[in-house]
Structure 1
Amino acid sequence: MNASASVSAEWSPPLPEAAGFTHTMVMTRGLRTHVASIGTGDPVVLLHGFPMHWWQWRTIAPAIAAEGYHVVCPDLRGSGWPEADDARFGAESQLDDVTAVLDALGIGAARFLCHDMGAISGMQLAYRNPERVRAIVQVAVPPGFMEFSPRLMPAFSHMPALVLHRAGSSLRYLFGPRYAAHRMADETIEGYLRAHERPEIERAVAALYRGMVIPVSRRLMGGVYKRMRLRPPMLCVFGSEDGPFAEATVRRICRNSAQHADRFELAFVDGGAHFLTDDRPDEVVRLALEWFAGAA
């Protein structure tokens, strides 16, 4: 299935509108992945959060592409418009999918910008195949080597409801003031949740959290990644209004970064919360471009 830069009726439900993107379905073993791309040049891969999809990058991707990059925005398994032969999830399912898509597109190494759930796959790739990650910017998620603190527990409070999610239950609450510093327009929320009109995406919510997010969270709490070395340059970015990840807390849990990472930095953005890519997309673009340039 292919679509032109204008959204095609072939996609069901229709893709949200975003000018300038090319839409393709990339075939890999057991999975057909919808990929939106824009621009030409060195590759930058954008990995979206939950419950979002490629459209999270609708303003960010064109701005990065305008600086001479080929920006690739895949829908991750369980979100957006992919088609999977097997509905089950494992701790590295999305990591394997991302790697397969990179291979199918002929991308040996790329720069990465990842948010929320997408940061899991980006981080895993940076540890498992560091030669494929030229630089990585991780938004709203601490690094794998973080020191666990009880102050982080509120960041996991949404998980029980998603583990027990029943198809048809609304996910609109995830876009409320607890996670977004600025009220999202109804049409924006509708754009994000449109893919949940697909029954297979609605059914995937609980499976995604049970099979991938919870096991990876246990790895983080158990210090698995603290016993590994992070080789690619990583920048972690947080919104100043992202409660569990207050600057003092984040700096404390990352204070031993030199022991675990070759190059690591933190950045904090005023006027943003967890959904920083919607709250302050301009700052996300600026920080990402600066980090990518500095890691060239």
Structure 2
Amino acid sequence: MHEPRIIRSGDASTWSPPLPEASGFDHFTVETPGLRTHVATIGEGDPVVLLHGFPQHWWQWHAVAPVIAAAGYRAICPDLRGAGWTVADNPRIDRETRLRDVLALFDALEIERAHVVSHDMGAITAMQLTYDHPERVRTAVQLAVPPGFMKFSPKVVAGFRHLPPFIWHRPGASLRGTFSGAYVAHPMPEATIETYLAPLRRPDIDAAVCPLCRHMILPEAMRITRGTYRRRRLSVPTLVAFGRRDHPWAAQLQHICPDPGRYADRVEFAYLDDAAHFITDDAPTAVATLTLNWFNQAT
């Protein structure tokens, strides 16, 4: 069996494209069968694994992870398969590919249990982890994605309006519109948008957009719609947080999740007033504070 290896590189310029600047982070690659995962870490202490959204990567947490680290944790920010600076031997992606990747990363880094913070597409993998491997998760913070036991309502259809361009993504097509005013409370600086989109210049990352949406997001969305998670129980203490300006989700969350105690041991909802879907960019300090408070309350 192939043993995992950790390969360290302290020089950001050796990565292609060059890694964006973020003070205090250590960067290395974890080699597991068929995958070379880029990981950025900061701090020492109990592990907190942060799973980024789409079309983002580890740098999504550059203003959140240092606050978590300063509170005495080790913040671990991997680039998930099909994103950032991670390289996969096989382009095939199925519903649980990223889940298997994260479990392999936990084992390679000798993480028995971790707090897990996730956003957007990363929350799908985090949700799978909390349901299927609750023994590996101390607490969960899920950003901008409803819990798996949500009930579908026509009032949230507009919340999926962003998916068709991803499902039918053509090689080289721009994803810049993802960061439009419909998804942010404050205009995102051009330099920030470019930082998020830079890895998509790699053909393998660009080619992963369709498989991630067609073979991971859509099958999981169908499971949620069919009530798969309403027939299971969530045992991991989970905080679900939305920006108040994340339409239509923030306004409908209480309606599509009317009785969380029926499906989970402990789930709470939180809202940040001055934020939309890209909540970690709109309000990074508030997200970090909310996260740390949840760690303290739920453990």
Give the share of equivalent positions with the same residue, in percent.
53
Give the deviation of 1:115 after TM superposition.
0.2
CA drift of 1:117 comes to 0.4
Which of the residues 285, 291, 294 maps onto 1:291?
A: 294
Q: Which residue of 1 aligns with 2:71?
A: 67
Output aligned runs, 1:1-296, within 5 Å: 1-4=7-10, 7-247=11-251, 249-296=252-299
Question: Cα distance, 1:161 vs. partner?
Answer: 1.2
In 2, distance between residues paired with 1:255 and 1:177? 29
Residues 88 and 211 in structure 1, CA contact (< 8 A), matched pair in contact too: no
Unaligned segments of structure 1, at least 5 residues? none
How far the C-alpha of 1:160 sits from its partner, in A, is: 1.4
CA distance in 1, matches of 2:18, 2:250: 38
Q: Distance in 1 between matches of 2:240 and 2:12?
A: 36
Report the AA paired with residue 259 of structure 2.
N
Structure 2 distance, partners of 1:20, 1:81, is 18
Aligned residues: 293
Runs of at least 4 residues of structure 1 off by over 4 A? none
Contact 1:25 1:35 in 2 (8 A): yes
- CA-based RMSD of the aligned residues comes to 0.9
What CA distance in whole angstroms lies between the structure 1 residues aligned with 2:56 and 2:50? 12
Task: Quote the Cα distance in structure 1 between the aligned partners of 2:250 and 2:100.
Answer: 32
Q: Hey, what's the Cα distance between the residues in 1 that align with 2:218 and 2:294?
A: 30
Question: 1:53-100: per-residue Cα shift (whole Å, max 9, x none)?
Answer: 000000100010000000100001111011111101101111111111
SS in structure 2 at match of 1:201: helix
Could you tell me how far apart the structure 1 residues matched to 2:208 and 2:133 are? Answer: 27
| AA aligned opposite 1:294 | Q
Aligned-partner SS, 1:77:
coil
SS at match of 2:47: strand
2:4 corresponds in structure 1 to none
For the residues of structure 1 that align with 2:155 and 2:99, how far apart are their CA atoms? 28
Bigger CA drift: 37-46 or 216-225? 216-225
Structure 1 position 246, deviation (Å): 2.8
- In 2, the alpha carbon distance for the partners of 1:194 and 1:115 equals 19
Indicate conservation of the 8 Å contact 1:238/1:274, yes or no: yes
**1:261 & 1:82 partners in 2: Cα distance?**
34
